[in-house]
Structure 1
Amino acid sequence: MAKPRAQRELAQNLLKKQGIMRLLELREAGVTAATMSRMERAGEVIRLSRGVYQLPDADLDPNHSLAEAAKRVPKGIVCLVSALAFHGLTDQLPPKVWMAIGPKDWAPQRSGAGIRIVRFTDSLLREGIETHVIEGVSVKVFGVAKTVADCFRHRGKVGLSVAIEGLQEALRQRKATPAEIARQAEKGGVSTVVRPYLEALTANA
């Protein structure tokens, strides 16, 4: 095991490269939990949430909360209102990051970083995933067409007006075609809900 000073330098170099890291990742690289605690007390690192660290002078991306959420919920995929906001399809800034996980996946019990968990079936969890790098972190986000369909599927949670806004903006900004949205709506079992809005918006185009 490397000496504490060497561990501190290793931790700083790793965090400079990767932006945000979990304690598990740091420990696998040879940095102990005790070293991270000492660095936190000395102000050399910031503990964003339990077991998640970042350098204090790190440049924060506008989507910083998504990177932090991805570290806290490694199997999670950014979804619903948070995915709409990421794609520029709503003016809403959700106070919590909406994350989709599988029916049996682990979820943090206390979402100190502001995470709202939504459980998706395994088949719907595999559809339309994009990967974006935010502050050095690989963040999985559902694509535009999938997100719009999901908002209609979860309209009871996000509100029908939010789902309609997402649909309007996706078409207006040409970030998804009507066919792509219709296909995702069918896969999500909401084609009969989405179709009237889709037809009305495309008829007016």
Structure 2
Amino acid sequence: MKASSSHPTDFLRGHGTLRSRDLVKRGITRSQLSRMVRAGALVRVARGLYALPDYREGEHTAVLAVARRAPQVVFCLLTALQLHELTTQTPFEVWIAIGNKSHPPRMDYPALRTVRMSADALKVGVETRDIDGVRIRFTNMARTVVDCFKFRNKIGLDVALEALRDARRAKKVTADELWRYARMNRVANVMRPYLEAVG
């Protein structure tokens, strides 16, 4: 029992949070988890998600929680802007893209905003990154900017314009990249005057 109890503490030091199923795989029973939470050795961040008592939310805590629970999702729009450091805002909700017929992950934490996309749209312009040992998938910078225009009714045109200006000013995307995704997303006519204005 003693050896088993030490597992979550040692393992969580390098992971921040872990799902109950991951802890169970490491030999911790669900009743042990409950006892450890009552004793203050672990904290329950959300349903099925645990951390050490000194755990503090980091910049990408919510994204990592979703990626651990639903590794197939693609982070998009405001969340992708945050990952690309194209916004100073920390969105209250995590924006994810899923397939047209997929079911969104059911989670108590964090709050999710779901956008449905075709199977092709979930592959084109998507990159991966490892953060704290968790692989996440999210739209690349040019695709993210274009998606902001495509879904401007959901996030606001002002957000899309700010993303476009910041990405071009920082020279993080080329006009050719933006045109490519704009045509693909059928928003070239919408973006044309703004693209011409920023050069």
Q: Give the TM-score normalised by the residue count of structure 1.
A: 0.87
- How is 1:38-117 mapped onto 2 (pairs within 5 angstroms)? 38-58=35-55, 60-109=57-106, 111-117=108-114
Q: Which runs of 5+ in 1 are unaligned?
A: none
CA 86–9 in structure 1, closer or farther in 2 if over 3 Å, else same: same
Indicate if the aligned counterparts of 1:75 and 1:105 stay in contact, CA closer than 8 A.
Answer: no
The residue aligned with 1:148 is 145
Q: Structure 1 segments of 4 or more deviating over 4 A?
A: none
Indicate if the aligned counterparts of 2:14 and 2:132 stay in contact, CA closer than 8 A.
Answer: no
Which segment is superposed worse, 28-37 or 48-57? 28-37
Q: CA RMSD in A?
A: 1.9
Indicate if the aligned counterparts of 1:20 and 1:136 stay in contact, CA closer than 8 A.
Answer: no
Q: Which runs of 5+ in 2 are unaligned?
A: none
Corresponding position: 1:118 with 2:115: yes
Aligned-partner residue type, residue 120 of structure 1? M
CA 94–176 in structure 1, closer or farther in 2 if over 3 Å, else same: same
Aligned-partner residue type, residue 10 of structure 1? H
Q: How far, CA to CA, are the matches of 2:56 and 2:110 in structure 1?
A: 18
Give the paired residue count: 199
Give the % identical residues. Answer: 39
Q: How far, CA to CA, are the matches of 1:8 and 1:127 in structure 2?
A: 44
How much has 1:135 moved relative to structure 2?
3.4
The residue aligned with 1:182 is 179
Q: Secondary structure at the match of 1:99?
A: strand
How much has 1:93 moved relative to structure 2?
2.3
CA 175–74 in structure 1, closer or farther in 2 if over 3 Å, else same: same
Corresponding position: 1:25 with 2:18: no
Corresponding position: 1:166 with 2:163: yes
Q: How far, CA to CA, are the matches of 1:110 and 1:6 in structure 2?
A: 31
